[in-house]
Amino acid sequence: MTDNQSILVEVAYATPEKQLIIPITVKAGTTVQEAIDLSGIKKEFPQIDLDRDPIGIFGKHTTLDKTLREKDRIEIYRPLIADPKEIRRQRAEQGKKMKKGGGDA
């Protein structure tokens, strides 16, 4: 259903409990911000804050004023609860503690 004047894109957001990908047809020249607004995804996930939450297209960071192309998937990311580097460091520390001692050989 795509012609020269419209393109198909998707808007995606996920929480641990619920994921949603909304396909929408928009006019060529539509921005990321406009597509998010048109998708209605913020009604499903009122916690979305576009001033704070990072946005990407297929995993690559983008801006709200970026013009979309046919079949782009806009991804709205949730803020990180914990720093991944800190989590890895803690796991590595736990691994070192578990290897020390160790019982009967």
Which of 53, 52, 3 shows the shortest CA–CA distance to 28? 3
- CATH fold of 6-99 reads Ubiquitin-like (UB roll) (3.10.20)
Q: Which of residues 99 and 67 earns the better pLDDT score? A: 67
Stronger pLDDT, 18 or 1, i.e. the higher one: 18
Largest CA distance in the chain: 73
The tally of CA atoms less than 13 A away on the side-chain side of residue 51 is 0
Q: Looking at this protein, which amino acid is placed at residue 1?
A: M
Model pTM score: 0.73
Grade residue 101 by pLDDT with cuts at 50, 70 and 90: low
pLDDT of residue 66: 97
- Domain coordinates in residue numbering, the chain: 6-99
The backbone region for 100, taken as left when phi is positive above 0, alpha when psi lies in -120 to 50, beta otherwise, is beta
Task: Please report the pLDDT score of residue 105 as a whole number.
Answer: 47
